[in-house]
Amino acid sequence: MDNKVVLISGATDGIGKQTALKLAAMGARVIVHGRNRSRGATALQEIGEKTGKEARFVQADLSSLKNVTGLAEDIKKAYDRIDVLINNAGVFQREQVFSDDGYEMTFAVNHLAHFALSLQLLPLLKESAQGRIINVSSMAHRSSPRTDFSDIHDINAYMDYSAYSLSKLANVLFSNELASRLKATKITSNSLHPGVITTKLLREGFGISGNDVEQGCLTSVYLASEESLSSTSGKYFSNSRETEPSPYAFDPELRNNLWNLSEELTGVKFNDFV
């Protein structure tokens, strides 16, 4: 990972911060994304003290597509390439909340933001010797009670776990469809389940605890750094091993429908960036 440029969303705490610490210790030039500048400064200080590496903080609220585009533009101005993009940020909303763009918040942050960010950073990923896009999903994607993304704004149908698990299914569907569309490039796209990890999201969303963040970052670090995965794309991992995702992940109609909806809602088109 020596001198590789790695952008990690949602990296000021939890799994994201631990991933940043591990990759910085391996020599990566880490870009820490977060919403809160104070927490960002604290994360940078910790990375510096523990790894001896200087990281950079970038601020953006992923619930705003305008902010996502601004983040992508800032990265493009500051870097000539991105080697690894880890889409790690995520939320679990107990109550239905809508983003500034008018989209259900869980879907907006967990999927639409990363869809828009990934596509807009494709030009920088193409400049890498082997760019990698890593999407942090969850085993919750297997138990989504629905697969219809057309009703994500139905205020009469909102259930917190349903919204979360559907967004995690979207992560895997997006990752696999992106891998298919990038077949002719050197960029790979994979998704993962980090484990049941004690994070703010797990405590607030599920009211339980799990393994520590040291364990939770391992699969992300593996996908970012393992040389043997340079041509592995469109796969789902857990415990640093390739694992079968939900059968829905292979449904071409579902993947295409989500892709078209995502382009429509974000205004970000794949063909504009490849």
- Element housing 58 (H / E): strand 56-59
Measured distance between the N- and C-terminal CA atoms of the chain, rounded to whole angstroms: 25
CA gap 52, 45 in Å, rounded: 10
By C-alpha distance, which of 12, 193, 191 is closest to 114?
Answer: 191
Residue keyed to tokens 């952008």: 7
C-beta separation of 217 from 13 below 8 A: no
Give CA separation, 75 vs 49, 124, 218, 236, 239, in Å: 24, 9, 25, 27, 30
C-alpha span between 151 and 158 (Å, rounded):
10
Rounded distance between C-alpha atoms, residue 197 and residue 174, angstroms: 23
Q: Compute and round to an integer the Cα radius of gyration of the chain.
A: 17
Q: What's at 201, amino acid-wise?
A: L
> Whose structure tokens read 């079968």?
244
Q: Is 164 annotated in the active site?
A: yes
Active-site position among 79, 164, 222, 236: 164
Q: Give the residue numbers annotated as catalytic, written as ranges.
A: 164
